[in-house]
Amino acid sequence: MLRLGRREFGPHERVIMAIVNRTPDSFYDGGATFRDEPALARVEQAVAEGAAIIDIGGVKAGPGEEVSAEEEARRTVGFVAEVRRRFPDVVISVDTWRAEVGEAVCEAGADLLNDAWGGADPGLAQVAARHRVGLVCTHAGGAEPRTRPHRVTYDDVMADVLDVTVGLAERAVALGVPRESVLIDPGHDFGKNTRHSLEATRRLDEMVAAGWPVLVSLSNKDFVGETLDRPVKERLIGTLATTAVSSWLGAMVYRVHEVAETRQVLDMVSSIAGHRPPAVARRGLA
């Protein structure tokens, strides 16, 4: 079971985490949700389309203009509070690696800290423990925040992923983060080349077998683009194919841009797996 905020998710649920970037330079939308009203409209749409978690980020993952902790907090804290007011039952996640930002967003109502940079600030897990909120423990290959991988190598990429993420998860629980609120993430593209991300996907069942809920952040990423030689706006089909494979192998939470399309894919996989009945069943019964 996964417990986040007011929500509990069973072992066979496939949960959507919708991305809401509070940045002017997002790789995906170029800042479409940087201002409050478009961002709130995005939240409303995502919830209506089936997202249970909203992931709010104030700094783009890739290199770019320096964003101080103060500026990151300015972009996210007030917005978290407003989302909490308008959507009391939605799970609010904040994508940050900084403990001071994590502290501020938890005070504003966040339920989950999405640490995409693999414990770059060890204090973030302590913040999650103090506030009794969830934590995403990600493999980033030891990369510094906002850097791209360069000729990174692994003897066994999944062995490294498991060693890092399970170690971070166990540390978090030891600090006081509720075990049922900790997830592990293989960190596609983070500290990895495309072949590494493909192998991590292919062997995702090994992460599932480790016993922690697995989150995957696949949406429109470079490994999809390089695999199919497609620009950002033409990566949806590849993303959905990777989503289906990840779902079949047991991943639980999916961080996405396109909620409605992802919901259909996950529901279809759930039905094939026998965990969800068809929405209607008329064929051969008339």
Dist. CA 139–CA 190, nearest whole Å: 7
Dist. CA 49–CA 90, nearest whole Å: 13
Quick check: is 192 catalytic? no
From 7, 255, 263, 282, the catalytic residue: 255
Quick check: is 221 catalytic? yes
Which residues, 6+ apart, have CB-to-CB distance to 107 below 8 Å?
A: 77, 131
CB-CB contact of 111 with 138 (8 Å) = no
CB-CB contact of 220 with 241 (8 Å) = no
Pull the structure tokens for residue 195. Answer: 């072949």
From 221, 230, 235, 263, the catalytic residue: 221
| Residue whose C-alpha is closest to residue 93's, from 66, 119, 57 | 57
CB-CB contact of 213 with 8 (8 Å) = no
| Residue whose C-alpha is closest to residue 43's, from 73, 22, 59, 70 | 22
Dist. CA 200–CA 268, nearest whole Å: 23
What positions carry a catalytic annotation?
A: 221, 255
